[in-house]
Structure 1
Amino acid sequence: MQIDWVHFSPVSALAGGALIGISAGLTALLLGRIAGISGIVSGLIPPRSNDADWRLAFLLGLFASAFLIGWALAPARPVFQTAYLLTGFAGFLVGFGSRLGGGCTSGHGVCGLSRLSLRSIVATATFMASAMATVFIVRHVAG
């Protein structure tokens, strides 16, 4: 992925982080739920009895915000140098792995760390170490 750094601003990163924190806080406060994306999606497949509405609304908000930001900041859009099918397959593997591992970066990294959950601290450290190892291997070993 290549980013147009001329249009990058720490303000956009701060705003995005604040919106993630607000949505996680509101989900916990209003619904008593953790805003972990893999858990939200898995609750839709198959749909649970009475909570599919908030799950769908949360996911639609995620997609809508991505499209709105892409539209508003069109010059700063990332450019993918990989086929969309491969990117989609990689996303599927990440989702499958996060469910297999009992949670995702949003559930553990945002919600779990804010609650000082030991399980989330270990999970987030594992996610970060795996990501760093993957980047090192792809960029420096595999070439």
Structure 2
Amino acid sequence: MEMELQTAFTPWASLGGGVLIGLSAVMVMGLFGRIAGISGITKGFLSTLLPTPGTPRDRDWRLAFLLGLVASPLALMLVGGTATQSVPTNLFGMAVAGLLVGLGTALGSGCTSGHGVCGLARLSVRSLAAVVTFMAAGFVTVFVLRHFLGGA
């Protein structure tokens, strides 16, 4: 897999982004009584497209949340900011990674945002275990990629 290492020290942008993520998590919990984990929001939205018994009927806020994720970088660019993204060119590797992330999300009963931001804020022991697990897996992955597979 082709890798590109690009890091920048952006404390104010990072702080602002963290505040906005925290604010959105509080708003979703306060307004809808739901956890602002993207996997749960996406799964809930997709389940409303093919309704079955027990399907949540709260499609509108889920759609607004998902559209906000897409619209945010576009809005940033409209006001003169830049939104850069680099992705590997190995489509097979990206597909495998995406499937593994989806599998991990299903097995872990949530995603990094749900467990890391919302679960830890609620002092969930299950979320703490999930965060420790995915952080450890991330550390091991970076170590293996950099030191054994010749990555940057």
| TM bucket normalised to smaller | 0.7 to 0.9
What secondary structure does 2:46 align onto? coil
Counterpart-to-counterpart distance in 2, 1:83 and 1:66: 24
Aligned to 2:105: 98
User: 1:8-58, CA deviations, whole angstroms, 9 ceiling, x for partnerless residues?
Assistant: 521000000000000000000110000011111111232134111111111
Counterpart-to-counterpart distance in 2, 1:137 and 1:95: 22
Which of structures 1 and 2 has the bigger CA Rg?
2
More helix, by proportion: 1
Aligned to 2:30: 29
Residue 39 (1) aligns with residue 29 (2): no
Is the Cα contact below 8 Å between 1:3 and 1:78 reproduced in 2? no
TM-score by length of 2: 0.80
Structure 1: 4+ residue segments shifted above 6 A: none
TM-score by length of 1: 0.84
Residue 129 (1) aligns with residue 129 (2): no
Is the Cα contact below 8 Å between 2:44 and 2:56 reproduced in 1? no
Residue 65 (1) aligns with residue 72 (2): yes
Residue 3 (1) aligns with residue 6 (2): yes
Give unmatched runs, 5+ long, in structure 1. Answer: none
Q: CA RMSD in A?
A: 2.2
Give the number of aligned pairs. Answer: 140
Aligned to 1:138: 145
Aligned to 2:51: none
